[in-house]
Amino acid sequence: MKKTNGVIAAGHPETVKAGLAIFGAGGNAFDVALACMLAACVTEPGLTSLAGGGFLLAHTNTNQNILFDFFTQTPHDKRPISNLDFYPVGVNFGTTIQDFHIGLGSMAVPGVWAGVMRVQETLGRLPLSVVAEPAIILARQGVEVNSFQAYTFSNLLQPILLTTAEGREIYAPNGDILRSGDRLIMTHFAQTLEVLVSGERREFYEGEIAQMLVQDCQEKGGHLTLKDLKNYTVIERTPLKIDYRGKTILTNPPPSSGGTLIAFALQLLSSLDLTNLKFGSSQHLHLLKTVMQFTNVARKERLDDYLHQVNIAEKFVSSFSSYQQPFIDAVNKWGSTTHISVLDQEGNAASVTTSNGEGSGYIIPGTGIMVNNMLGEEDLNPQGFHQWPENVRISSMMSPTLVLNQEHKPEIVLGSGGSNRIRTAILQVLLNLIDFKMSVEDAVNSPRVHWENHRFDIEPGFDPESVNTLDLSPQDVIRLWPEKNMFFGGVNTLVKTSDGQLLGAGDIRRNGVSLKS
């Protein structure tokens, strides 16, 4: 089969190389995205897993737009809290410690493997056995641990990764957590993936793997049952569509909230002329703070409690008019996850974001697959832990996003990891590309900010005078970060220029990489 030309941006060089191998085998953008998803389970195992959840936003060369929702689902039934294996661990981001809850009681119904199967059946060109081959080779031969992996293993996720004997076998084979330059080998995962792609696709949800997972849950304090696994389905949704500055932006619709919040922010900004705004100026920082502030207010008032209502995205985004004048007056006053973006020359585009949360610490015996901890993620449980409704899709901030030009062809492909910072990271990169006309490299790697709960987190690189002259209320706090940090997301981005060039940038905050075939 003839080689396909395309470009990939992802969180690890070996992830990108896995995708390039599939381009070389004649695969399309969707084959490549799946190959990268599977490879990322080896190259970024602290961030994603076959037992996690995610979304893939697809634009086909026949102008179909599909959002594949394979995010995690709440179980059908709750166990008494007193019977749960559910406990907190602190994850240290350097200047802030965030608590996450892990254990078998934190595990939601996983969706990544179901998503891989559905996308391949719907849009893939190559057999799944071919698509999975680079990931299987990586898992068996091993991946050299780089500085970012070593940081996540040692500084962030060590208490989670080393919870079980299976985890210690993978991440501390000689007694100490793997360090930069060591080799991460996932033999059991390679064997499991071979079984799954050899025709035993339902093994994960109905076979021996499912039986082991459910038995451990029932005996050791988890919620999951065979009913939960057998009834899990991938949902194909119509993407949320936003018009901004003459471009069409497609992103993740409800019940996930990230895309809807990005849409609301862009609606507010569309009323302003940003032509003469200078990046990094005090006016720019004030604008970002204000749009994030107003979006957060609107979210609490009009979105969080209504995410499962019909047409809630349209109702919420249209409500921007209630906030528009106060927003203009205020302006004039002057997150673990991984993302993969793929574009091919045939006109296909895939934007895929997956997550395992921080991981539950539990690895399905003999598989090398750690299950998610989505029921233990504070951001995903705004009503409090154990208050989730049964058997519903969990809302997520993940927002795989595409921008179409006036001919409805893909011009920008992006998305991000970063928990609650996903929406603000994507918003800033979109503004950098569309309003500030930056190159893709500068758009992704320019400094970022995040505003939430009266705290303004600011990366280095902005003019200190611009920061010092910000108009803040007495309860507002500025936190200046000493260096660019994964806290502010990882926006791996691709751009197709007007003359047909395919360009990409990986986010340096998460050692992102972009390469062309």
Which sequence positions are flagged as catalytic?
337
Closest CA to 373 of 387, 355, 389: 355
> Which residues touch 215 (CB under 8 Å, ≥6 apart)?
none
Element (H, E) at 394: none
* C-alpha span between 141 and 156 (Å, rounded): 25
**DSSP tag of 298:** H
Question: In 281-408, where does DSSP find H-type helix?
Answer: 282-302, 312-318, 321-332
3-state class percentages of the chain: helix first, strand second, coil last, to nearest 5: 40, 20, 40
DSSP string, 11-36: SSHHHHHHHHHHHHTT--HHHHHHHH
| Among the listed residues 2, 11, 4, the one whose alpha carbon sits nearest the alpha carbon of residue 504 | 11
Q: How far apart are the first and last CA of the chain?
A: 15
- The values of phi and psi at residue 392, to 5°, are -135, 155
Decide: 55 and 112 in contact? Cβ < 8 Å.
Answer: no
Give phi and psi for 321, each to the nearest 5: -60, -30
User: What is the per-residue burial (b if ≥16 Cβ within 10 Å, else e) of 243-282?
Assistant: ebeebbbbbbbbbbbbbbbbbbbbbbbeebebeeeebebb
SS3 294: helix
CA distance 401 to 266: 13
Q: Under 8 Å CB-to-CB from 174, ≥6 apart: which residues?
A: none
Asked if 393 contacts 117 with a C-beta cutoff of 8 angstroms, the reply is no
User: For 108-148, what is the HEC assignment?
Assistant: CECCHHHHHHHHHHHHCCCCHHHHHHHHHHHHHHCEECCHH
Structure tokens given for 369: 């697959």
